[in-house]
Chains A and B, each alone.
Chain A
Amino acid sequence: MPFLERIGASARAGAFAATFMLLGSCGSPPESASDVLNGGFAELRATAQDVITDPVRQAKYLQHCADLEAALRGFELYTAGFLDRLQRQFTDYDVERAELQALVAEFRERRGQAQRSFIDAHRGMASSVTLDEWGQLWKRQKKLVDALRDASARNL
């Protein structure tokens, strides 16, 4: 079954923005975030290999794609730990607001780093391809972004 059809509504999805999964409605068991990332990036790479015929540009695009994946995986790992700490501290009566503010400030810093890495990788991907290639690649990515947003809304 294609990757895009396998993602369940509660998929433990760690993918993000210009990436790579579609929420299926088939009720399949949820996949791990790692599965989603693996499948999503594999699909993107395969699409790029089909669409970008020039080997030099293709290699460049794939390198930026790898950079994006690394940024996402690093931030996902950090975020999982952050959420644990946030909930623990938020629900601890003895924790004062200043401690929570410090925790959030730390998150903000890491988020900024991840954002910069993301933007750099995204721009690198965009600048590696022609307008026509970008149109085809983005069309795929946009579907995935929309599905992620739907899943996000359901999980709030």
Chain B
Amino acid sequence: MHAESRQGGQVLVILLGALFLGAGVAAGSLATGMSLKDLDKGIKALDLGDTREDQARDVISRWEDLARPALKQRKRNVDAIVDLLGEQYAPEEKLRAAFDALQADADATVSGVLALRDELRAALGEGDWERLFADR
């Protein structure tokens, strides 16, 4: 993806709705500049041998497993916020609680992604990690 449009998408994602972080990171592109699909392709192209490739691709697979529900949860959280924003006199505590819920889910997702990064880092080693992210 062209860097400009990617960055634009990222900024939009970040700003959308509720100043969140998690789901975008879960989807990969915010943290790495690459989609999870592209990360998977990149790992295959590294020619790591069966065992290491399986390990690395398993991390990506679990990253996808993390992303899917995170995106669904984000939608539910943002729906709740938008509904409240539409009420002229929505109680402030309800509004803040809705934002807090969104952000708590996002933060939990980010923690999960950071743990997966550690696993991917261990599976690849420094040389292959740098080859995978050579264009970053």
Contacts and interface: CB of A to CB of B under 8 A. Distances in A.
Interface of A: 10-18, 30, 33, 72, 75-76, 79-80, 82-83, 86-88, 90-91, 93, 97, 100-101, 104, 107-108, 111-112, 114-115, 118-119, 122-123, 126-127, 129, 131, 134, 138, 141-142, 145, 148-149, 151-152, 154-156
A110 B117 CA distance: 24
A114 B129 CA distance: 35
7 contacts: A12-B5, A87-B32, A104-B21, A114-B19, A134-B88, A149-B78, A156-B29
Interface of B: 4-5, 7-21, 23-24, 27, 29-33, 71, 78, 81-82, 85-86, 88-89, 92, 95-96, 99, 103, 107, 110, 114-115, 117-118, 121, 126, 129-130, 133, 136
B129 A123 contact: no
B31 A138 contact: no
Given A79-B14, A86-B31, A91-B133, A97 B103 contact: no
Contacts of B19: 16, 75, 111, 114-115, 118
B12 A17 contact: no
Contact of A83 (B11, B99, B103): B11
A83 B10 contact: yes
A1 B105 CA distance: 40
A30 B99 CA distance: 30
